[in-house]
Amino acid sequence: MNPIYETADARVRAVTIRPAHAADLDAVLAIRNHAIEHGTALWTDTPQSRDEGAAWLAAHLARGSAYVAECAASVVGFGVYGPWKDYSGFRHTVENSVYVAEGQHGRGIGAALLGTLITSAEAAGLHVMIAGIESGNAASVRLHERHGFEHAGTVREVGTKFGRWLDLTLMRRQLG
């Protein structure tokens, strides 16, 4: 299979970014539920069931807005984008999510996934991409800065997890 995103970064030469398939569900769900259980990127304590995950992934597959990173035949990360808000006036704006499997961070996989999401959203004619990031998530803030996202503001203490308040940093990138 041909990679759809090529990178000169030696750390990620063995990684292929490709559109997700329905068969990726279990691998994607494992990465997503690990993030729910152990981190503050997703502000819920409830792991996603297989049925919920299947519906979520199917919506992305229908739009062509889900990609996975594959290394040695294993899915080591995924990225998606979808509607930021449901009202029709927001239809040209999407929000992204990028998750890399524990143990694979810092190899450039997140960067390869986010680059693919931006290219895909631009090809789809979308106008703006938003990221909503827990303010203490230095890796994600850096990742988005490196891909041309600007800081659009921080909303303090709008979330809670693990017994503390969480701040939300919004970042914005013009597409096209």
Ligand X SMILES: CC(C)(COP(=O)(O)OP(=O)(O)OC[C@H]1O[C@@H](n2cnc3c(N)ncnc32)[C@H](O)[C@@H]1OP(=O)(O)O)[C@@H](O)C(=O)NCCC(=O)NCCS
Query: What are the distances in angstroms from CA 106 to CA 35, 99, 109, 136?
Result: 16, 12, 7, 17
Q: Which of residues 89 and 103 has its CB atom nearest to ligand X in the complex?
A: 103
b/e code 78-99 from CB counts within 10 Å (16+ = b) = bbbbeebeeeeeeeebbbbbbb
Identified binder of ligand X from the candidate list 142, 150, 164, 174, rule CB under 6 A: 142
Work out how close the CB of 148 gets to ligand X at its nearest, in angstroms, rounded to a whole number.
Answer: 12
Burial 3-21 (b: 16+ CB within 10 A, else e): bebebeeeebeebbbbbbe
Rule CB under 6 A: is residue 117 a binding residue for ligand X?
no
Tell whether residue 111 is a contact of ligand X (CB under 6 A): yes
The Cα 68–Cα 75 span in angstroms is 6
Binding letters toward ligand X, positions 69-108, x by CB under 6 A: -----------------------------xxx----xxxx
Question: Sign of dihedral through CA atoms 175, 65, 34, 113?
Answer: negative
- Choosing from 48, 65, 93, 140, the residue that interacts with ligand X (CB under 6 A) is 140
Q: How far is the CB of 139 from ligand X (least distance, A)?
A: 3
Nearest CA to 26 out of 58, 56, 53 is that of 53
Stretch that binds ligand X, among 16-24, 43-51, 131-139, 151-159 (CB under 6 A): 131-139
Q: Which is nearer to ligand X, 7 or 19 (CB)?
A: 7
Q: Binding of ligand X at residue 147 (CB under 6 A)?
A: no
CA–CA separation, 146 and 63 (whole Å):
26
The answer to whether 136 contacts ligand X (rule: CB under 6 A) is: no
Q: Which is nearer to ligand X, 103 or 125 (CB)?
A: 103
Q: How many CB atoms lie within 10 A of CB 142?
A: 12
Give the separation between CA 43 and CA 57, rounded to whole angstroms: 19
Task: State in angstroms the smallest separation of the CB of 31 from ligand X.
Answer: 8
- Residues lying near ligand X in the complex (CB under 6 A) are found at 35, 39, 41, 98-100, 105-111, 131, 133, 137-140, 142-143, 146
